[in-house]
Structure 1
Amino acid sequence: MNSVELRDVMADFGRLINRVEETGERVRITDDGESAGVILPAAELAELEHFAQRVPGAPRPRPRTVQERPLGPEQQGPYVRYVHTGGVRRTFTRDRVIVAELLPVDELDWLEDKARTGRQSYMDPKQAAAFEEFLARQRPIGDGIAWIADGWRSQQPFTVLEFIKGPPPEEVALAYGADPRDIADGLLLHQVWERDGREGTDDFLDVLAFGQAAGWTWLGYHDFAGAFSGFPDPPPQQITMTAIEARAIYDFRYSKDGVHQNPSPTEDGAVPEMYELIWYTPGETPFDPSAPLAFLNAHIRRAEEETDWADGISLFFAGLERAFGLSLPRDAITSGHVRCAYPAPH
């Protein structure tokens, strides 16, 4: 990046701005050898501003000194120079189109730092498609969740499976209305099963099992009595699957940042609340390419190609493994060595 002393261009930035416009390169402005600012093309600045605004954080640096009345527009060659409050930042236009800007060094550093972070979470459509394909090829972590699909369809050991990203299991269980005493005591599911066997009860239908696997908090419970309410504050991601064997209803719901992700494009303002797994036919694309859930198609297709699961629900679960990295501890759940809690007393 070229450097120019401020005193050499103060009177007329015209030739310097012309160089920036033609080459698309930045020019550093120095004052007695110290960096005072940088002139950069308007298109580059627009890109920095765009990505920087995606990142919350410290406020933008403000001018150290404030002019009571910034200088008026000044013609310099084919360009018009506008001086901003503070006297350092300048905007240069030609034919009423912004061509370049001179920014203070600290403001540009702030912008570049924010933009660098903002870009890390952005991919253009082609990159996103390639990344989804890459993720779809990855093996599930741990036991996955396809192993539980057949039992879940028969309402064993739970009718509701939920996965929540972010909060720890104990916090989620409390938010769902679990008894704090059971959580503190470390009640285990096999203890409930054993007492049911001794006393001829079916209390296992009334408890909330919970744990953490592969970075997700998982919940398993029966929703017959509606004793456990949903998480009150929308988590970053939430997946819910409910089995109602008597009516052959097996549904899947996915929310991101509190917004329900529709299984199909909305029509006439209608927002589908869930996707019924019996709608999925192996070998066929489950979601319309324009639906918010279309990103799952590649993962489900990969599960069809690379797993031995034969029925649709197990294959769908295997696709979710690949899409979200979901897992459930098979040995711990089948043996009942997972934590659980009754509803808190009212």
Structure 2
Amino acid sequence: MDHIELSDAIADFARLIGRVEETGERMCIIDGGEPTSVLLPAAELAELEHFAQRAPSGARHRPRTRSGQGHPFGPDPQGPYIRYVHADGERMTFVRDRVVVAELRSVEEIDWLEDRARTARQSYMPPKQADAFEEFLARQGPVGDGVAWIADSWRNQEPFTEIVFINGSTAEDVALAYGADAQDIADGLLLHQVEEQDAREGTDNLTRVLAFGEENGWTWLGYHDFDHAFSRSLNPPPEQQITLSATMAKAIYEFSYFEDGAYQNPFPIEDGAEDRRDMYELIWYTPGEAPFAPEAPLSFLNLHLRIAEKAGNWTDNIALFFEGLERAFGLALPRDAITSGNVRCARPARR
């Protein structure tokens, strides 16, 4: 980036703008040897703004510009260009033939934009590259035991009616937030111990415990929701939450997905907008058909389900859907530990 003294820039602004328009390169304006502002192509500024506004919020706020004084009101001709001075008196827009060609911004503002844009670009891929990468990820096999193995027993409400996956919180913290007994958690109570106690004492505590653990970066929960003994929400909400609910008596098997507390459930493809539902039941899934409309938040699951169908590991619709979730999110449940009862659990907190 070339530098030019402020006095020289003022003397022939039109030539400076023409150079930026022709070369597509920035010009840094200095005053007494110190950089003060940057003249850059309008398209480059538009790109910076596009990515900067998509970066996560940070502690550093956008630099404020001083209130403008002494600048002309209205369009200001600069050779073949028209200069428009912004209300702050520092930012300027240059137009030729009703087309914006260049912008003037302070050095501090450009630094701020570049820093935020750099953060946002790290997670950006062009559409074709993103599609190819998504297909590559979808073709990777499930990690560990996956979750498809539990689909058949879950359909019959065994060993749990509710299976929840939470990203962003430890298993112990989630169990406590759900209302599990802190002493059971501290003691390391295991599922088979509750089952053995039920057999000895004729109790039915197995249906009133919360099983929990961590697999592949996710906290998982398993429980029955017969008497609403456990909470269904966390405060603050987790980064991601996936819930699978089975109600065998009504043949209702639901799937829901939240990001940062916002409901993301896609709607199934229907003939009209009025038919779109605010939930998703697994019985709607038909192998060979894309279950989610292209504009739905979870439309990318279509690809993972298609890969699961081609893999031929399962024929049951729910198991296939669960394998799609394995591939999309990396979900897993410890098969041997759950079937043997060697997983941690806790009863509802004592009141």
Question: Normalized against structure 1, the TM-score is what?
Answer: 0.90
In the other structure, the counterpart of 2:111 is 109
Deviation of 1:104 (Å): 2.3
In the other structure, the counterpart of 2:13 is 13
SS at match of 1:20: helix
Quickly say closer, same or farther: Cα 1:99–1:244, change in 2 above 3 A: same
Decide whether the 8 Å contact of 1:264 with 1:293 is kept in 2.
Answer: no
Quickly say closer, same or farther: Cα 1:343–1:69, change in 2 above 3 A: farther
Deviates more, 1:163-172 or 1:295-304: 163-172
**Does 1:323 pair with 2:328?**
yes
In the other structure, the counterpart of 2:286 is 281
Q: Which amino acid aligns with 2:264?
A: H
Q: Which amino acid aligns with 2:303?
A: A
SS at match of 2:46: helix
Counterpart of 1:211 (choices 204, 210, 213) is 213
Counterpart of 2:267 (choices 263, 270, 274) is 263
In the other structure, the counterpart of 2:141 is 139
Deviation of 1:48 (Å): 0.6
Hey, what's the Cα distance between the residues in 1 that align with 2:144 and 2:337?
12
Hey, what's the Cα distance between the residues in 1 that align with 2:285 and 2:94?
58
Hey, what's the Cα distance between the residues in 2 that align with 1:6 and 1:134?
52
Hey, what's the Cα distance between the residues in 1 that align with 2:71 and 2:268?
54
Q: Deviations over 1:146-170 (max 9, x none)?
A: 1111221222211111111212222
Quickly say closer, same or farther: Cα 1:161–1:20, change in 2 above 3 A: same
Decide whether the 8 Å contact of 1:70 with 1:85 is kept in 2.
Answer: no
Quickly say closer, same or farther: Cα 1:181–1:46, change in 2 above 3 A: same
Deviation of 1:228 (Å): 1.5
Aligned residue pair count: 345
- 1:53-202 correspondence runs (5 A): 53-55=53-55, 56-57=57-58, 58-63=60-65, 68-72=69-73, 74-83=76-85, 89-202=91-204
Deviates more, 1:48-57 or 1:119-128: 119-128
Deviation of 1:95 (Å): 4.4
Deviation of 1:211 (Å): 1.4
Q: Which amino acid aligns with 1:339?
A: R
Q: Which amino acid aligns with 1:282?
A: P
Decide whether the 8 Å contact of 1:265 with 1:290 is kept in 2.
Answer: no
Q: Which amino acid aligns with 1:308?
A: N
The alignment's C-alpha RMSD in Å is 2.4
Q: Percent identity?
A: 64
Q: Deviations over 1:53-103 (max 9, x none)?
A: 12211101234x665444545322122334457765433233454321222
Deviation of 1:304 (Å): 1.7
Deviation of 1:117 (Å): 1.0
Flag structure 2 segments of 5+ consecutive residues without an equivalent: none
Deviation of 1:24 (Å): 1.9
Hey, what's the Cα distance between the residues in 2 that align with 1:311 and 1:338?
27
Hey, what's the Cα distance between the residues in 1 that align with 2:179 and 2:70?
61
In the other structure, the counterpart of 1:45 is 45
Deviation of 1:121 (Å): 3.2
Counterpart of 1:250 (choices 232, 250, 253) is 253
Hey, what's the Cα distance between the residues in 2 that align with 1:89 and 1:288?
43
Flag structure 1 segments of 5+ consecutive residues without an equivalent: none
Hey, what's the Cα distance between the residues in 2 that align with 1:265 and 1:255?
20
Hey, what's the Cα distance between the residues in 2 that align with 1:197 and 1:214?
33
Decide whether the 8 Å contact of 2:268 with 2:291 is kept in 1.
Answer: no
In the other structure, the counterpart of 1:311 is 316
Decide whether the 8 Å contact of 1:70 with 1:84 is kept in 2.
Answer: no
Decide whether the 8 Å contact of 1:208 with 1:340 is kept in 2.
Answer: yes
Quickly say closer, same or farther: Cα 1:283–1:154, change in 2 above 3 A: same
Question: Normalized against structure 2, the TM-score is what?
Answer: 0.89
